[in-house]
Each structure stands twice: as C-alpha cells, then as structure tokens.
Amino acid sequence: MKIVVTGGAGFIGSAVCRQLIAETNAYVVNIDALTYAANLRSLDAIAASPRYTFIQADIGDRAAMDAVLTWHAPDAVMHLAAESHVDRSIDRSDAFIRTNVLGTHTLLEAARAYWMRLPAERAGAFRFLNVSTDEVYGSLGADGGAFTEATAYNPSSPYAASKAGADHLASAWFRTFGLPVVISNGCNTFGPYHFPEKLIPLAILNALEGNALPVYGDGGNVRDWLYVDDHARALRLILARGQPGQSYNVGGRNERTNLAVVAAICDTLDRLVPAGAPRRRLITFVPDRPGHDRRYAVDAGKLERELGWRAQEDFASGLEKTVRWYLDNRAWWEPLRQDVYAGERLGLAAHTAAVE
C-alpha cells in the first residue's frame, strides 16, 4: 500500500509517518510545505527508509498535487496539513483560510481527478482521510456531556471555522462526487515533537527554564487530552476500516482544566529534575484570549465500538513520557526556542482591540 500524508513534518503528521514505516509495510509519501511549525528532524528515524519519500510542496499548488498523485499513484491520502494554532489565527486569519479551506479544496479536486482515472477495483479501495479537530463543535457547558458525531458545528475561532469549512468541503465531495472521504475530529493531542507554542510543550520548556507559566483567565477551561501515538493509531484505523461518508471522533477521556495540566507538568518536573523550589510558583494568570471555548469533551464511542480502537496511554502515563522526551531531546527543541518561537504570547492584537 502507498499512502500520501500531507503535513507529515508536523506534530501529528510526523507521528503518523513514523508509525506507518515502523509498524506496517506501507510506502509513505510525505508532502509538507515546511512552514514554521514543520520540522524534518521529527522524521530522522525514518528518513533513510526505502519506503519513505519526502516532497516539499504546498497543498494549494494544484499542479504540484496533480504531479505527486500521478507519479506516486497512492492508494490513500491522509490529509493532515493545516495551520493549527488558535492564537495565530486570531492575529492572522488569512493563512488559515488559505491553507485549511482553499488548500483542502485544491487537494480534494486533485484527489478526485486522480481517483476518477483509477481502475474500478483500485477506485473502490481508495480513501481520502480528512483529519480535523473537535474545535469545530464549539464550546460545551460545564455540566457534562460530550461532542458526538451528530453535534452541530459551532466554531468560535478563525482556526476552528477554517477547519469546519474543510470538513464541509470534504463531506460535500463525498455526497456530490462520490469521492470516498472519511473525516476524523480529534481532541487536544500532546506528546513528543510538539512545536513549543502549544500549552503542554510551552509549559514544559518554560518551567524547565524557570520562566513564567502563563495560564489564560482563571485556568478553568477544560480540554480532553490524547497522547499523540494513540491519535496516530486511531487515524490509521479510520483510514483502514472507516466507512466513506462517515466521521469519527477521536477522544482520550482525559478531561483536565488548563490549570490542572500546568500543575501536573510542574509536579512531574519537580520530581524528575528538582529546582530547589516548587515550579507551581511560576504559574501566572493572564487575560483570557478572545472567543476562548470553555470546555471540550469528545465521545469516542463510535470509534471504539465500530472500529475497535482503544487508547494505550492515559493522561498521566502520556505526560510522563512527554516530559521525559523533552528532557532528553534538547537538540530538537532548543533551536526552535532560539530561532523560531521564544515563547512570547500570540493573539494579543485582538485582545488589545477588545479591551480598548
């Protein structure tokens, strides 16, 4: 089997590529534009494999997508390429619309043209997996409940709206054209090789360096957390066994407030690398970001019942592995802190406008 993975130099995409090479016999063609959050170092372990190919290209480039699909003749496309940081979408929404909406449209059209040329047997087996987020559903109340595949879309941020648009396009390409599309909506994911603008890697590195640990608002925003390798396994299973036209929620059943997550990181680092004083003292509450959803929780029951998926890590075991990885892999993240993103707050332009 040959699989095209878009965004394979990103966080979840690189985990998917590493798993496919390590745990299957598949050939992997990784397409990535190598924007700021992509890192080819995340793929060092598989870069020399004869079953792995990297191509630097933008999913919005139709000619490049047509060329990749025609030359490599894949059996499936796993579409993970996306702009994904909510705070950056508040500052600069245009990149999110360009990549997540227009880029997805371009890729869908390229895939449809390729799929229509396939022999009947290969066309019937072809799959296009559109990898999305639970943020398309909006915010849940604090009194319980969880997002299901039937939950209406109600995005709050430019990022979530752009991913909702991509999902609607993917669904329409199935309904109108018959392209065998499957959609996944995943919860907050964490683990190794995570670009340090997101909550968990940012808190780990700030705490390790003795810097302030910013927590939005009162720290009571709740997220469902899933270890990245479990998310990658879920995507592989959805690709292999998911039904075209269906969507599958991917959740970890690990709800935590942001404050609890940061506190757990502090406690883990205090145990592994004591600093002389508890790192919880570094927690600093900062003004909330605009449109900040209060709670996400994902019901992964459909994925569990129909496809037999189960997470192998809980939050505690996944966090332990994650913290230890950052402690052991300074060579991966230190250049990013020095040259790409030093930990400054993003999304401030909209906050400043709101309070003025």
Annotated catalytic sites, by residue?
A: 134-135, 159
Q: Quick one: tokens of 18?
A: 């590493």
Q: How far is CA 114 from CA 1, 51, 68, 75, 182, in A?
A: 16, 22, 10, 11, 17
Helix, strand, or coil (residue 4)? strand
CB 153 within 8 A of CB 166: no
Sheet-wide strand order for 76-79: 52-56, 27-32, 2-6, 76-79, 127-133, 181-186, 247-250
Q: How far is CA 88 from CA 36, 83, 150, 283, 289, in A?
A: 12, 9, 29, 22, 11
CB 155 within 8 A of CB 138: yes
The torsion angles phi and psi of 353, rounded to 5 degrees, stand at -65, -35
Q: Quick one: tokens of 173?
A: 């390409």
Q: Which residues contact 228 (CB under 8 A, 6 or more apart)?
A: 11, 12, 15, 189, 190, 191, 192, 193, 194
Which residue is it, tokens 């592989």?
A: 236
Sheet-wide strand order for 255-257: 188-190, 222-227, 255-257
